[in-house]
Chain A
Amino acid sequence: MFPFIKLMLRTFGYAEGQDIPEMHLLNFWLAPQYLEQITMQRLREEFQKQKPFPHLSLQHFFHEARLEELKKAIDEEKFTQKTSDLFSFKQTKDFFNCKNKVIKAFYDFLRSKAFMVYMEYLTGLKFKRNQVDLAATLYEDTDFLLPHDDRLEKRKLAFMTYLSNLRKRDGGTLVLYNEKGKAVKKVLPLANTFCFFAVSKHSLHEIEEVVGKVQRLTVGGWYHAH
């Protein structure tokens, strides 16, 4: 039996051959190819092998229609300017208390046991149940996030979903550095790409400055260790 299905049966206490209702939630949000056995096994292997540290960037990850709805809802949220020595961007409050139904549904999906088990399968990591940090972040001209490793408050996995498309010349790429401080990989923001990486002392990364009249909108956050 496909190990992920075995894991789901065990997690939710179902017997072999029984229907797993929680799979419907995954089917509702995720593009079908990302629930295929072969794809999931390949991604699980790829995540560990990625340089400079374990990460994946999955294009067309969610059902397009769901994400469009989500983007519309996020566009209505209030963004506040955040500035420090390390960053400059606009951000919403954490969606923990968000009243918008579409955003709340997305938040609930990300902290659902079904999706956490899915992410644990892909990453080989274990997350604290029912807990996720989630907010939307907007970068406009001159906004940036300088190199850092994200280690804080038991963060285990950082993730983000891109809600806008940028070209190379617009900046805003996610740059991953190796231990010697060399930029090894650049992830260009493309709408409906789900990107995540394991947080560790090696996860050195930055968001390059956005240049010009473009918007880099993401919704992202962290899963935590027990």
Chain B
Amino acid sequence: MPINSVYQQEDTVKRIKQELKKQKQMPSVQLFEFFTPDVYHQLKRKLTQLTYKRSTELLHHRYATKKLPAKFFSEEIIEAIQRLVNTEKQIKFTAYCFSWKDYQVLHDKKVEKPGTDIIFDFSDKWQDDYGGHIVYVDGRGNYITTPVQGNTVSIVKRSSSIQKFVQYVNNHGKDKKRLFVIATFS
């Protein structure tokens, strides 16, 4: 089993869906220890061995990224995710690697369409004061920050008013890598 058995149980899946439905402003859930430890370490090893491409658009972002091949996650994992967010759509995975001086800011010309973000966090031993948090804002002063913790999955439902940015990674985290994967549906 690649996924923590808790998240395979019908009852848990039902509760996650209910929680996402119940929250009105910025629906989100965090699933800690999502993968079994062996699978998590195996996936992380694969992620750290990838060659990332640096991407800079000064007014929007500075980071390294890599589109993951379809078979990066097993069928079992993909089916579990589809079950959690109630979709049969194809899922595409993009890995992001943030290091010192990297960021992603809000930009009028980079507005994201409403949808669901699934973020797989692979950042271990990351301290809060390094920056690099993924922050969702609704433009009315409300915000949520997803936890930076390895083996955590965050599911965030975005309406048209909700956008996200990634905090600047500062010199306190200059020797560290902030790794996460974002799943999108098509």
In the assembled complex, the Cα of A142 lies from the Cα of B103 at a distance in Å of 13
Q: Which of A148, A177, A209 contacts B171 (CB 8 A)?
A: A209
**Does A209 contact B58, Cβ atoms closer than 8 Å?**
no
Q: Which B residues are in CB contact (< 8 Å) with A177?
A: 58
B64 at the interface (CB under 8 A from A): no
Q: In the complex, are the beta carbons of A204 and B58 less than 8 A apart?
A: yes
- With both beta carbons as reference points, the residue of chain A lying nearest to B104 in the complex is identified as A85
How far apart sit A181 and B58, CA to CA, in the bound complex (Å)?
7
Name the contact of A142 in the complex, choosing from B59, B165, B170 (C-beta under 8 A).
B170
**Cα of A209 to Cα of B131 in the assembled complex, Å:** 12
The dominant DSSP class at the B interface is: mixed
Contacts of A148 in B (CB 8 A): 59
Within 8 Å CB of B101, what residues of A? 209
Query: Taking A147-B58, A204-B58 as contacts, is the C-beta distance between A209 and B170 under 8 angstroms?
Result: yes
Q: How far is the CA of A149 from the CA of B107 in the complex (A)?
A: 13
Contacts of A141 in B (CB 8 A): 171
B168: interface (CB < 8 Å) = yes
Residues of B within 8 A of A181 (CB): 56-58
Residues from chain B with a CB closer than 8 A to the CB of A147 are 58-59
Number of interface residues of B (CB under 8 A): 18
A147 to B59, CA, bound (A): 6
Q: What bracket does the count of chain A residues touching chain B fall in? A: 10 to 19
B-facing residues in A79-122 (Cβ within 8 Å): 85-86, 88
User: For residue A211, which residues in chain B have a CB less than 8 angstroms away from its CB?
Assistant: 171
Task: Mark B32-64 against chain A: 1 for CB-CB distance below 8 A, else 0.
Answer: 000000000000000000000000111100000
The closest CB in chain A to the CB of B106 belongs to A85
Pair A85/B135 contact, Cβ less than 8 Å? yes
Smallest distance from the beta carbon of B121 to chain A beta carbons, Å?
Answer: 19
A146 within 8 A of B: yes
B165: A residues at CB distance < 8 A: 85
Other 13 A-B pairs with CB < 8 A, given A85-B165, A181-B56, A211-B171: A85-B104, A85-B105, A85-B106, A141-B171, A142-B129, A142-B171, A142-B172, A144-B170, A146-B105, A148-B59, A149-B59, A209-B168, A209-B170
Residues of chain B at the chain A interface (Cβ within 8 Å): 56-59, 101, 103-106, 129, 131, 135, 165, 167-168, 170-172
